[in-house]
């Protein structure tokens, strides 16, 4: 080998060694120690939850060293608009906390990823460890789009001392007992105390009563209002009668300077609210009232003959059975709302598996119990309720019982708009003198109008599905016809071949 060639080989060998050393040092080669940038997840959380959940992130990042989570806290007042803007601008986060009444809207916008495949292989999230009615708020058209994070529902808050003084030793368990307790409280105070506070600018109370008697609320695939049907009409008549009989004050919550002070003063003996008001009552009520107020599940509609004179006797006569038709039942609560927030993954996430790992982490029952200690938010998992802080809380006990008897409101994007209509027409019946049946007829008309676009989309989708079915039928017909058309040709060929062979 000539000297020049040997020189080139030596030089080439030195260059190759130098390049290999540089590659190894920078970790850019196929072999060696490769270092990857961690996956960056964006999590949007709202209100106080967005502040508190940040305390749980460091532990997740320690156990998942390849993932970093950035929590953006967003005020509840701005959350809905920011979510919609992010969908339009294709700037959605990987994960978000989503109120369960918002899930249908984002599903309709195709913004959320279905989670069923991840749930099927999850060893952390067990479907049967969740309250059925709460889980159902996340299921649309058979697909699951969210995992309940924390839950809420509405129960009865009451002054146990005022009820006892009026001859009612325990919380009312049925509507007939409930009305009787209000009447006794009013009479005992000489007409200067109301039995219950039902703010007329809140939609939840008449809806809870409607759900308790099995009212469907909407009909024809959620395309029309159904508030004039017998069940809701009866429940609404009961609701309005509480004001007409001066058992409830015909005022809105904006007309009360301090609800907790009024409750402490005994201006009313009961109100309906959620778990957030447990903490508020503990903070705002005088210490002397500790042990003189309590919570109880919602009273159940009783269909016992003669138990409900007046409002319910006529409308429910001959109507289809409600959830508790028949004998009086004082052990099963009434139905209440399925509320709370869920954790969702957006379709636009570049890291759905990492996002799911974070959801599994937050869904662990031990962390849910810790989150309750930090926020007061009720855990969505039944197993988390075994934590001593919850199991021994007398105010939480009513919520634990009620969560077994909750129902989702209609899972449609237009529901928030419909709740405003419910409030308007309910207030017209209570304060404006509109007859209840007339108010409900007007409510149905307005709801029908609000759902007009939904019905148009349903018709369009139905036409599209029918066109697809026709196209598939025609394709199948062509497949079946093809062999019949070719059969004579095959027969001729075989005949021809046979005769040729004979020759």
The predicted-structure confidence for 27-66, as pLDDT tens digits, reads as follows 444 444 456 789 999 999 999 999 999 999 999 999 999 9
Cα–Cα distance, 60 to 362 (Å, whole number): 9
Residue 28 lies in a domain: no
pLDDT at 262 over 50: yes
* Separation of alpha carbons 356 and 364, rounded Å: 13
Question: For 385-417, what is each residue's pLDDT tens digit?
Answer: 999 999 999 999 999 999 999 999 999 999 999
Same-domain check for residues 234 and 123:
no
Closest CA to 342 of 313, 377, 311, 298: 377
Please check whether residues 144 and 178 belong to one and the same domain. Answer: no
Residue 404 lies inside a defined structural domain of this protein: no
Cross-strand pairs, 158: 270, 294
pLDDT at 264 over 60: yes
- Would you say residue 480 lies in a domain? no
Q: Is 326 in the same domain as 369?
A: no
Sign of dihedral through CA atoms 62, 64, 70, 74? negative
| pLDDT tens digits, 447-467 | 999 999 999 999 998 876 666
Mind giving me the DSSP string for 14-33? Answer: HHHHHHHHHHHHHT-SSSS-
Pick the residue with more confidence: 482 or 287? 287
Q: Tell me if residue 222 falls in helix, strand or coil.
A: coil
Alpha-carbon span 369 to 388, nearest angstrom: 9
- Residue 356 in any domain: the answer is yes
Q: Is residue 287 part of a domain?
A: yes
Which CATH number belongs to the domain containing residue 112 in this structure?
Answer: 3.40.190.10
Instruction: State the residue for tokens 């060694």.
Output: 17
125 shares a domain with 59:
yes
DSSP letter at 170 equals S
* Least confident range of 25-39, 335-349, 367-381: 25-39
Q: Tell me: pLDDT of 331 over 80.
A: no
CB 286 within 8 A of CB 264: yes
In a domain, 489, yes or no: no
Beta-strand relationship, 39-46 and 67-74: parallel
State the pLDDT at residue 483: 60
Q: Say whether both 109 and 223 belong to one domain.
A: no
What's the rounded mean pLDDT across residues 287-309?
81
455-485 burial, b at 16+ Cβ within 10 Å, e below that, comes to: eeeeeeeeeeeeeeeeeeeeeeeeeeeeeee
Number of H helices, E strands in the chain: 20, 15
User: Residue 289: what pLDDT?
Assistant: 97
Q: Percent helix, strand and coil across the chain, each rounded to 5?
A: 50, 15, 35
Query: Mean pLDDT for the chain?
Result: 87
pLDDT grade for 139, boundaries at 50, 70 and 90: very high
Query: What percent of the chain has pLDDT above 90?
Result: 77
pLDDT band at 481 (very low <50, low <70, confident <90, very high): low
Tell me which residue range forms the domain holding 70. Answer: 39-152+341-385
What pLDDT is stored for residue 36 in this prediction? Answer: 77
For residue 24, give every residue at least 6 positions away whose Cβ sits within 8 Å of its Cβ, in sequence order, or none. Answer: 32, 33
In the numeric block, which tokens belong to residue 215? Answer: 């009212």
* Backbone φ and ψ of 335, nearest 5°: -80, 145
Q: Does residue 85 fall inside a structural domain?
A: yes
| Long-range contacts from 310-319, C-beta under 8 angstroms, 24+ separation | 310/241, 311/234, 311/237, 311/238, 311/240, 311/241, 312/175, 312/234, 312/237, 312/238, 315/230, 315/233, 315/234, 315/237, 316/213, 316/230, 316/231, 316/234, 319/230, 319/231, 319/234
**Three-class secondary structure assignment of 380-440:** CEHHHHHCHHHHCCCCHHHHHHHCCCEECCCCCCCHHHHHHHHHHHHHHHHHCCCCHHHHH
In a domain, 419, yes or no: yes
- Residue-level length of the chain: 503
Same structural domain, 120 and 265: no
- Domain end position, chosen among 368, 385, 402: 385
**71 with 88, same domain?**
yes
pLDDT digits (tens, 9 = 90+) for 208-241: 999 999 999 999 999 999 999 999 999 999 999 9
DSSP 456-490: HHHHHHHHHHHHHHHHHHHHHHHHHHHHHHHHHHH
Q: Is 246 exposed, middle or buried (0-12, 13-18, 19+ CB in 10 A)?
A: middle
Model confidence at 486, pLDDT cuts 50, 70, 90, reads low
**Are 78 and 224 found together in one domain?**
no
**Least confident residue range of 15-19, 92-96, 110-114, 343-347:** 15-19
pLDDT score, position 12: 46
Asked whether residue 9 carries a pLDDT value surpassing 50, the answer given is no
**pLDDT for the residue numbered 432:** 87
Give me the pLDDT at residue 334, please: 96
In this predicted structure, what is the pLDDT of residue 462? 80
| pLDDT, tens only, 62-84 | 999 999 999 999 999 999 999 99
Structure tokens at 381: 């998992």
b/e per residue, 32-62, with b = 16+ CB within 10 A?
A: eeeeeeebebbbbbbbebbebbeebbeebee
**pLDDT at 320 > cutoff 60:** no
Q: Which two tokens stand for residue 339?
A: 């509320």
Pull the structure tokens for residue 402: 């009620």
Same domain, 373 and 442: no
Q: Say yes or no: 118 and 146 in one domain.
A: yes
Q: What is the pLDDT of residues 92-126, one digit of tens each?
A: 999 999 999 999 999 999 999 999 999 999 999 99
Lookup: tokens for 447: 């709801």
Give me 91's structure tokens: 């700037």
Q: How confident is the model at residue 309 (pLDDT cuts 50, 70, 90)?
A: very low
Domain count, the chain: 2
Pairing of strands 143-144, 139-140: antiparallel
Looking at the structure, do residues 332 and 347 belong to the same domain, yes or no? no
87 with 60, same domain? yes
Measured CA to CA in angstroms, residue 457 lies from 33, 107, 254, 416 at distances of 55, 15, 38, 19
Q: What is the mean pLDDT of residues 351-377?
A: 96
């Amino acid at each position: 080998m000539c000297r020049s060639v040997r020189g080139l080989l030596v030089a080439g060998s030195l260059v190759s060694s130098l390049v290999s050393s540089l590659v190894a040092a920078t970790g850019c080669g196929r072999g060696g120690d490769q270092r990857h940038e961690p996956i960056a997840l964006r999590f949007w959380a709202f209100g106080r939850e967005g502040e508190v959940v940040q305390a749980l992130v460091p532990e997740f990042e320690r156990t998942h060293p390849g993932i970093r989570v950035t929590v953006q806290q967003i005020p509840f007042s701005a959350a809905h608009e920011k979510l919609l803007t992010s969908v339009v601008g294709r700037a959605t986060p990987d994960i978000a906390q989503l109120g369960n009444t918002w899930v249908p809207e984002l599903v309709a916008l195709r913004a959320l990823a279905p989670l069923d495949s991840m749930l099927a292989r999850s060893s952390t999230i067990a479907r049967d460890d969740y309250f059925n009615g709460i889980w159902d708020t996340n299921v649309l058209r058979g697909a699951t789009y969210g995992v309940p994070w924390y839950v809420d529902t509405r129960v009865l808050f009451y002054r146990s001392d005022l009820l006892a003084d009026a001859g009612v030793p325990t919380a009312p368990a049925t509507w007939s007992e409930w009305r009787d307790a209000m009447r006794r409280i009013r009479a005992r105070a000489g007409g200067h105390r109301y039995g219950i506070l039902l703010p007329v600018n809140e939609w939840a109370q008449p809806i809870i009563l409607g759900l308790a008697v099995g009212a469907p609320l909407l009909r024809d695939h959620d395309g029309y209002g159904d508030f004039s049907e017998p069940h809701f009409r009866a429940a609404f008549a009961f609701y309005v009668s509480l004001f007409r009989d001066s058992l409830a004050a015909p005022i809105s919550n904006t007309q009360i300077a301090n609800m907790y002070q009024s409750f402490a003063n005994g201006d009313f003996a009961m109100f309906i609210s959620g778990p957030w008001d447990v903490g508020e009552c503990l903070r705002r009520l005088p210490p002397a009232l500790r042990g003189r107020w309590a919570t109880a599940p919602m009273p159940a509609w009783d269909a016992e003959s003669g138990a409900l004179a007046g409002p319910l006797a006529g409308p429910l006569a001959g109507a289809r059975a409600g959830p508790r038709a028949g004998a009086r039942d004082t052990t099963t609560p009434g139905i209440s709302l399925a509320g709370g927030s869920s954790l969702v993954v957006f379709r636009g996430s570049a890291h759905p598996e990492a996002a799911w790992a974070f959801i599994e982490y937050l869904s662990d029952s031990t962390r849910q119990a810790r989150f309750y200690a930090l926020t007061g938010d009720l855990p969505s998992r039944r197993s988390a309720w075994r934590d001593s802080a919850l199991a021994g809380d007398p105010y939480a006990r009513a919520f634990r019982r009620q969560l077994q008897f909750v129902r989702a409101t209609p899972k449609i994007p237009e529901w928030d708009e419909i709740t405003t209509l419910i409030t308007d027409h309910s207030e017209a019946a209570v304060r404006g003198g509109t007859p209840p049946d007339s108010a409900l007829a007007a409510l149905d008309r307005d709801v029908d109008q609000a759902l007009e676009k939904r019905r148009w989309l349903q018709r369009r989708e139905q036409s599209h599905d029918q066109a697809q079915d026709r196209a598939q039928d025609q394709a199948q017909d062509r497949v079946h016809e093809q062999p019949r058309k070719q059969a004579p040709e095959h027969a001729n060929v075989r005949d021809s071949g046979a005769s040729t062979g004979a020759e």
